[in-house]
Amino acid sequence: MPAQPVHPSAPEACKNPAVSSDALLAPIEGAHHRELGGVEIDILPLGNARLKRAVYPPGHRWSTRLRELVGTDLCMHAHVGFLARGHIAGEYADGCRFDYVAPAAVVIEPEHDAWVIGDEPAVLIQFDYEGETAARLGLPERHGH
């Protein structure tokens, strides 16, 4: 019998044994995968929204890895979802800070810097409406009091 082709989302298709043995990091069937500034991102359309899994490596900081790629001083996207693994912290333009340790529900308003704390990646699963996330989820366009 001839060998069957390996489906790209099957764990055996991945050369990284840590990813292939960890369901939280394994390839997601049907997802669009991309890498941006060291962040591994998988995006799936869900109705009018998107589901995103972002895996931020240990030591990642938005301002050092993504500022030049994105072209803004701070991240201007809202993040709403679930931190499934890791520890993230950050600061808004006005000096307010946030800190999340998995497992945790996460709401981060636009206009922030953020970083991974510790030796493990942070895995954030979030709902996203591209540039309309804040408005569609009832968040301010910029952090404020």
| Claim to verify: residue 75 and residue 96 sit in the same structural domain | yes
Place of tokens 């699963």: 125
| pTM over the 0.75 mark | yes
Residue 144 lies in a domain: no
Each residue of 28-42: pLDDT tens digit? 999 999 999 999 999
Place of tokens 């366009």: 141
pLDDT of residue 9: 44
| Claim to verify: residue 59 and residue 120 sit in the same structural domain | yes
| Claim to verify: residue 21 and residue 67 sit in the same structural domain | no
Query: Exposed (0-12), middle (13-18) or buried (19+): which is 12, by Cβ within 10 Å?
Result: exposed
Could you give the number of structural domains in the chain?
2
pLDDT of residue 144: 85
Continuous H helices in the chain: 17-20, 62-65, 67-70, 133-136
pLDDT of residue 145: 75
pLDDT of residue 8: 44
pLDDT of residue 41: 96
Confidence of residue 19 (pLDDT cuts 50, 70, 90): low
Let me know: does 19 contact 40? Beta carbons within 8 Å.
Answer: no
| Claim to verify: residue 36 and residue 10 sit in the same structural domain | no
Does residue 91 surpass a pLDDT of 90?
yes
- Cis peptide bond upstream of 103, omega within 30: yes
CATH number assigned to the domain comprising residue 100: 2.60.120.10
